[in-house]
Amino acid sequence: MSPERYQKIRAILSKRQPSLTVCLEQVHKPHNVSAVVRSCDAVGIHKVHAVWDDKTKGLRGGTAMGSQNWVYVENHDSIEDAIGHLKNQKMQVLVTHLSDSAVDFRDVDYSKPTAIILGQEKHGATQEAIDLADQEIVIPMVGMVQSLNVSVAAALVLYEAQRQRTIAGMYDVQQLAESDCQKTLFEGGYPQFRRVCDEKNLPYPHINEEGKIVADDDWWRALQFNDL
C-alpha cells in the first residue's frame, strides 16, 4: 500500500461515525441495498445492520460491496435481535413509518447515538419494528405519492444526521477505535493478503504510519505469500 493510499484511508476512517447506523429490514432489491450502503459510506457510517427473510437471504454475502469494502454489514436473524443489539449499544432506534405519532425526520437529535430502521420496499417496516422502535419518523410530502424509494429516503435522513453532526463537531475528532481502523487499513490496503489470512485463519498484522505491514517472520512464513 502506498503512503498516499494509506493517508486517504486514514482520512476516511478519521471521520467514521460508529454511533450512527441504519438497519435494513428485509430490503430485497440489490440496487436499493447498494444505494443505501453507498449513502452510508458517504456520510461516514462504519457498519450497517440487516435482517433478511428467506427470499432475501441471498444478499447476505454483501451485495453492495463496491461500498461494502468500506462499510461493514452485520446480519441478524430477526428484527427483535437487531433492535435489541442496537439498544444494548445505547442507541435511539428510529423507524421510517407514516403514522399520527411520527415526527418530522428533521426534528430528531442525530448527535445522539442513533440507528435508523428502513423497511422493505413494498410494505415498509414490520409491526414488530414499529413496536420496538423508540420513535417513528416521517419525511413530509405534499404530492400524490406518500412514500419515497427506500434508498432516497435513507439518503435524506442520513444527510440530515450528517448536517447535525457536522455542526456538533463530531467529524472533527476520530471516533472509530484504532483496532477497527487497523482492520480496515489491512483489508482495504492489502486485499490479496487479507484473502489468504481469512483462508488460513491468520491474525491481521499491524499497519504502520507508512502504510506498511509490521509482522514477524512466523507470520510471513504462515502467509506463504510467495504462492500469491
Cα–Cα distances (Å) from 142 to 34, 147, 148, 218, in that order, read: 28, 10, 12, 65
Cβ(118)–Cβ(154) under 8 Å? yes
What does the radius of gyration of the chain's CA atoms come to, in whole angstroms? 19
Q: Is 63 annotated as a binding residue?
A: no
Beta bridge partners, 75, equal 50
Q: Is 185 annotated as a binding residue?
A: no
Q: Is 139 annotated as a binding residue?
A: yes
Q: Using the Cα atoms of residue 145, residue 147, residue 150 and residue 152 in order, give the sign of their dihedral.
A: positive
Find the largest Cα–Cα distance for the chain: 66
SS3 135: strand
CA atoms of 25 and 28, how far apart (whole Å)? 9
Binding-site residues sit at: 96, 139, 148
Provide the annotated binding site for S-adenosyl-L-methionine.
96, 139, 148
